Structure formats: structure tokens, C-alpha cells
Chain A
């Protein structure tokens, strides 16, 4: 039983780091767009209540108010490469050599722009990034 739980936890943690795996779990940008569509016609205050305050706000050239929500995180993925590092010994000025694992850093970003009309109703959205994904609608 414990082994099963462990494997599930491992899968969930792994999926956090790998978008393709996340997609397998149903986290897709299509689903994210579906969620954004459910917000169209709702008032921005309702969105703020659920999503929190936006990171930024500006007026678009067409006169619409645009609320910006941004999420980003940097993930360090360990590679197979190990580099040798010389470590100085304090007492005899000699060096020892030890191995250090290399990491790839990947930035996951999702920026969402929510456009509203004069009444504050959401009329449009756009997103950009490599992490605008969501699970399916329930």
C-alpha cells in the first residue's frame, strides 16, 4: 500500500516538472482556454475574488481595461553530467577533486491578459507562455 502511495506521489511530483507528463494528466492549454471562456461575461470583481489581485493593469489602445496575471517559476532539472571541481585544502595548499552534478534550469511562465468593457465585464482574454495549462472542467 505504502509503495503505491509513494509511486503516486512520485508521479505527481514528476508531473509538476514535466509539461508533457502534465498533459498526460489532463493539464492542457485547451483546458485553460475553456476555463478562460467560462469567465467571459462575468464581472472582473468576481475574477479578482477568485484569482486574487492582478500583477498589472493598463488600458489597451482600443480603450479596454486589461488586467494582467502572471505566474512563473524556475525548475532545476538534474542532468547526467557531473563536472570535476577542485577543492582547496586549507592546511597544505593542495587540491582535491570532487564531482558536482549539473542542472538545467527551465522557466515556466504563464501570462494571461483579461480585457474588460466599461462595465467591468470580461469580454476577451489572451495568454502567452509555456505553462498556461489546466485540468479539464468539472
Chain B
């Protein structure tokens, strides 16, 4: 490699983080060196001199400087990290990995080093090895889009397209203007045979390229779009209802939202943040034990970011007795904790525990409606309960201060600034919900019994803490009340009469029956290899059990069941939607 070429490559690597698709390989952002360096004195100066030399293309001289820095300070992770970067540039990937390993030994909390090591493995096409490092980087710094992008691309290289798409979508949330990420998602959807979504994402990539004046990229995106139109037809339809939920103009940029919520007492009411459900007309509540129940918004307070949802039916799994505490009694320095579903696409769908203290009884700019807390809040934690030490809900975890935004504003990186809405506002909102008895929410403090330690408490409470998934879906029917023990309040004179309410419910029930039967028909049409006969039978039986009486589709469903008799017994796992899922 001659000097000029080296300089060009180095300039590209250091100055411009670029994602590209190279011969079917999902490329990644190049080496990152954003680790905070607390070292001072001569080792630091030597390291910085090395970086200057590297930027000038003098790679070998740069390495010498890093070596000198390390000789003065053997436990200098940043120098090892930068040395590894140079080795990556020199395509000495195994040597680079050694240096990154050393850097990680010295500082296991630097996402840059994990990213760089992931990049080395990626270059070696050892994607399985790269994956855990990219994952670790995301966990350490979840608010950085490039790390989600790296993880996503690694998944794509492993042909794990759905997980890749999920990670890339996280990257988009943090960096909406990166057309390359949209391109990669489009490519992944194409691999999955999802023409509708592939077209949607490549169009968006093209639009962004055009707005940035990158006409060569506009042309390339157009070429890919033309290929997709020819492959899938002019107007490919979304494959299933969940994808329809993401269609343009109906969805919030095609994204499914997730957040946390919690049931108070044994009620059917779920408390969450307003921003979790904002704009959604399809809300599903997922319980720890796997149950999934549709919900609707019955009260919302946008200003204070609180919403109350009503479940369409009572959960089968027993719920604990989470009670609402008095946020006015909370003191600065008090220990608090939360349980929620942060970044469920990466960390999985099991609840996660985090703890901290109350930094302040006021929030951002002394907002009296918020607590400032040290409990780390990640995307997906929003709407979760903030418990006091004695197990009472004193708030709803809401937001964390954006490190990137703060850095842009103040020039400094804030550490662990998080906020929760005070329970005061939950109580106020609950009082507006007719049919909700205040006594159920246990407003009076209920001390946890001495036998009930923290782990026991969490064990009993975690089924009250739910994962909320939202989508904009105009094709889905309105909320359907199917629970038999629904309470019809006649106390409020403005409410419709009981008779009208019953008629309304009957109509809704009819809609529900028709809708579910239609789904059964679609299911029956699926090949047995996709949806096993046994699962088909189960679904039909569930339908028959749910609506044994006054069911206009009863006979047809029974016939459907009899048609399945004698069919193969092979059991295949059914994946109902092609929504990105975490393995």
C-alpha cells in the first residue's frame, strides 16, 4: 500500500463513519475511539501524538507512540484500543483482537473497544464471534445509534434478518437521517421476501439521499427500487395484519412501540406513560407468564405523561398487590427501584430490575411533577413503576436525559440523569376513571411484612408489571369488551343506559366473533408445515370455548375442526407474525 492510499483510507476511517453494502456483506461503522481518557501527563501526550500520526497516515510511527505510552503506563486501555485500531486498518485483525482484549481487561466498560473488536471479527467474517461484542457495546451505551447499527449488520451477516431489522430500527430511532440504515433494512426485508416493507424502506432511503443531495445514491436506491417493483409487483401488500399496522400513513413510521406498565392491585387497569401509547390505536399488554391481552386507553394526561389502560379481559395469571404510595412523603436520598422491560428487542422479554436513589424531589428545571433518580432508564423502561423501599409505587419511570443532546447543549456528558412522574398524578388520573374504586389502589401505605424481602416482593409483583406493545392499525377492530364480568356503571348520568351499553357490547362481541373466525379461516388456509394441525385445532377449540353460545360461526368452526381430523400430527412451531423477535 503506498503512502497516498494509506492517507486516503485513514482519512476516511477517522473522519467519516460510513456504512455500505459491499458485495452482499453488511459493512459496519468503522473503528470508534470515543472512550473517555482520564490519563494525564506524558502517556496521554504520547497517545495523542500517536493519534495525530495515524490521522496523517503514518501508521507505524503511531504504533511506536502507543508503545511508548504503554511502556510509561502499562495499564493504559486507550492506548491499547488505538493500537488495535491501527492494526485493523493494517488488516492485522488477529493482532488487533489481542490489543482490544488487553484494553478490555483494563477497562471492561468501554463500548468503543467492544465495537472495535467486533469490527475485527467482522472483517475476518467471524460473525458469531463479533456478535457478543457488538451486543455488549449496545448494552454499555444504548443511546448510540451506530452501535445498534453495528449489531444489526452483524445479525444480517448471520442471516438473522429479523433480529437485524430490530436492531437497525433501534438505530433509526436514534439517528433518523441515516439513509444507509434504511437501505440495509430494505435489503433485509427483501431477503425475507417482504416486498412491501422492502419497497417502503428503500423509498425512505432514497428520499433522504435526495434531501442530502447525494444523487448517485438516489440513483442506486432507485435502481434497487426498480428491481423490487419488478420482483414483487407494483403494489405488494403487507403479509399480515401486524405489517399492515405499519403501512405508511397508518403507522408511526412503521414502528411498533414498546414500553412498560403495571397493574394496580388485582384490577384490569394498567398505568403507563402517555408517550408509550400516544397515537396508537392498537395496544397489547404482555404478561410475564406469556399472556397477551388487548387494552384501550381510558384516561390520559399528556402534560404529566401518564395514561391508564383498561384490559379487554382479566388476566388468567394471578396478579399481585401493587399499591400506590404517596409521592409527597418521598425524601431526597431515599432508595428506590424499578422493574421493567428495557430494550426488549435486545435484552429479551423478561422483566429487568434496576435500583438507585432519589436525587431530587424535583425534575428537569425544577419541575415539581418529577423525581430525579439514579435508577438507569433505557428505552422500554418508560411507564414502569418506581417503587419505594417498602414496595409502594411512588412514581412512573419516564425519561432519561439524552447524553448526546446534553453533550451538544452543554459540551459535557451528563451521567445517569433520569426522571419519574410522581404517583400524585397517577392517583389524580385514576379518580377520573369511572368504575375504578379508589380503595383498590391501596392508597394507604401498606408496609411489606418482615418475611417479605425484596426478592420475594419482586417475585410476587412481577406479574403486575407488563410489557406494552403498540401499533397504529386502522384495519384492526375497535376495542372489544369480552370479559363476562365487565362492570357497567349507571351512576354517571352522562353514561348510556345499561340497555344501550348491552347492545353496544353485543355488537362488539359479534365483531369480535367475525374477526376471530376470519383469522381462523386464514389460519386454516396456511400449510401445515407453517402452522401445525395441532395448533390449528387448538386455535379453533379456543374459539369454540370462548364463544359457546350465540355464536353465528359456531357450526362453521365445528366443520373446520372436523376437516382437520386425520391430518398429520407433525408439530411445528408457529410464528404468528414476522415481527422482529429476539432469540
CB interface residues, A 79-136, toward B, < 8 Å: 117-119, 123-125
The distance from the CB of B50 to the nearest CB of chain A, in whole angstroms, is 40
Question: Closest chain A residue to B226 by CB distance?
Answer: A40
Asked, given contacts A38-B222, A39-B222, A41-B203, whether A124 binds B235 with beta carbons under 8 Å apart, the answer is no
The distance from the CB of A71 to the nearest CB of chain B, in whole angstroms, is 21
- Chain B residues with CB under 8 Å of A39's CB are 222
Q: Is the CB of B218 within 8 A of A38?
A: yes
Q: Is the CB of B206 within 8 A of A35?
A: no
- Chain B residues with CB under 8 Å of A37's CB are 218-220, 222-223, 226
Q: A137 to B221, alpha carbons, bound, how many Å?
A: 14
Question: Closest chain A residue to B213 by CB distance?
Answer: A138
The distance from the CB of B163 to the nearest CB of chain A, in whole angstroms, is 28
CB interface residues, B 215-258, toward A, < 8 Å: 215-216, 218-223, 225-226, 229-230, 234-235
Q: A35 to B509, alpha carbons, bound, how many Å?
A: 55
**CB of A76 closer than 8 Å to a CB of B:** no
Q: A124 to B210, alpha carbons, bound, how many Å?
A: 19
**CB of A57 closer than 8 Å to a CB of B:** no
- Per-residue CB contact flags for chain B residues 185-228 toward chain A (1 = under 8 Å, else 0) read 00000000000000000110010001000011011111101100
Interface size class of B (residues with CB under 8 A): 10 to 19
Q: A123 to B199, alpha carbons, bound, how many Å?
A: 11
Most buried by B among A34, A37, A64, A138: A37
Question: Closest chain A residue to B199 by CB distance?
Answer: A41
The distance from the CB of A87 to the nearest CB of chain B, in whole angstroms, is 57
Most buried by A among B222, B225, B230: B222
Q: Is the CB of B215 within 8 A of A40?
A: no
The distance from the CB of B489 to the nearest CB of chain A, in whole angstroms, is 47
Q: Is the CB of A64 within 8 A of B225?
A: no
Q: A119 to B225, alpha carbons, bound, how many Å?
A: 15
Q: Is the CB of B226 within 8 A of A124?
A: yes
Q: Is the CB of B219 within 8 A of A123?
A: no
Q: Is the CB of A137 within 8 A of B215?
A: yes
Q: Is the CB of B229 within 8 A of A40?
A: yes
Partner of A38, one of B203, B219, B230: B219
The distance from the CB of B461 to the nearest CB of chain A, in whole angstroms, is 50
Q: A36 to B218, alpha carbons, bound, how many Å?
A: 11
- Per-residue CB contact flags for chain A residues 19-39 toward chain B (1 = under 8 Å, else 0) read 000000000000000111111
Q: A39 to B221, alpha carbons, bound, how many Å?
A: 10
Q: Is the CB of B222 within 8 A of A123?
A: no
Partner of B225, one of A34, A35, A40: A40
Partner of B216, one of A34, A40, A118, A119: A34
Q: A75 to B206, alpha carbons, bound, how many Å?
A: 38
Q: A41 to B229, alpha carbons, bound, how many Å?
A: 9
Q: Is the CB of A64 within 8 A of B234?
A: yes
- Chain B residues with CB under 8 Å of A64's CB are 234
Q: Is the CB of B235 within 8 A of A119?
A: yes
- Chain A residues with CB under 8 Å of B222's CB are 36-41
Question: Closest chain A residue to B207 by CB distance?
Answer: A41
Q: A64 to B206, alpha carbons, bound, how many Å?
A: 23
Q: Is the CB of A117 within 8 A of B235?
A: yes
Q: A5 to B287, alpha carbons, bound, how many Å?
A: 79
Q: A118 to B229, alpha carbons, bound, how many Å?
A: 13
Q: Is the CB of A35 within 8 A of B235?
A: no
The distance from the CB of A41 to the nearest CB of chain B, in whole angstroms, is 5
The distance from the CB of B219 to the nearest CB of chain A, in whole angstroms, is 4
Q: Is the CB of B226 within 8 A of A118?
A: no
Q: A57 to B230, alpha carbons, bound, how many Å?
A: 20
Question: Closest chain B residue to A37 by CB distance?
Answer: B222
Asked, given contacts A137-B219, A138-B215, whether A41 binds B225 with beta carbons under 8 Å apart, the answer is yes
Q: Is the CB of A123 within 8 A of B216?
A: no
Partner of B234, one of A34, A36, A117, A137: A117
- Chain A residues with CB under 8 Å of B218's CB are 37-38, 137
Q: Is the CB of B206 within 8 A of A41?
A: yes
Partner of B235, one of A34, A38, A41, A118: A118
Q: A95 to B471, alpha carbons, bound, how many Å?
A: 93
Q: Is the CB of A118 within 8 A of B219?
A: no
Q: A39 to B215, alpha carbons, bound, how many Å?
A: 11
Question: Closest chain B residue to A63 by CB distance?
Answer: B234
Q: Is the CB of B219 within 8 A of A34?
A: yes
- Chain A residues with CB under 8 Å of B234's CB are 64, 117-118, 123
CB interface residues, A 48-67, toward B, < 8 Å: 64
The distance from the CB of B152 to the nearest CB of chain A, in whole angstroms, is 24
Q: A17 to B370, alpha carbons, bound, how many Å?
A: 75
- Chain A residues with CB under 8 Å of B225's CB are 40-41
- Chain B residues with CB under 8 Å of A118's CB are 234-235
Question: Closest chain B residue to A40 by CB distance?
Answer: B222
Given A40-B226, A124-B230, A137-B218, output 16 extra A-B contacts at Cβ < 8 Å: A37-B220, A38-B215, A38-B218, A40-B222, A40-B229, A41-B222, A41-B225, A117-B234, A117-B235, A119-B235, A123-B229, A123-B230, A124-B226, A125-B226, A137-B219, A138-B215
- 13 examples of A-B residue contacts, CB within 8 angstroms: A34-B216, A36-B222, A37-B226, A38-B210, A38-B219, A41-B225, A64-B234, A118-B235, A123-B229, A123-B230, A124-B230, A137-B216, A137-B218
**Interface residues in chain A, defined as those with a beta carbon under 8 Å from any beta carbon in chain B:** 34-41, 64, 117-119, 123-125, 137-138
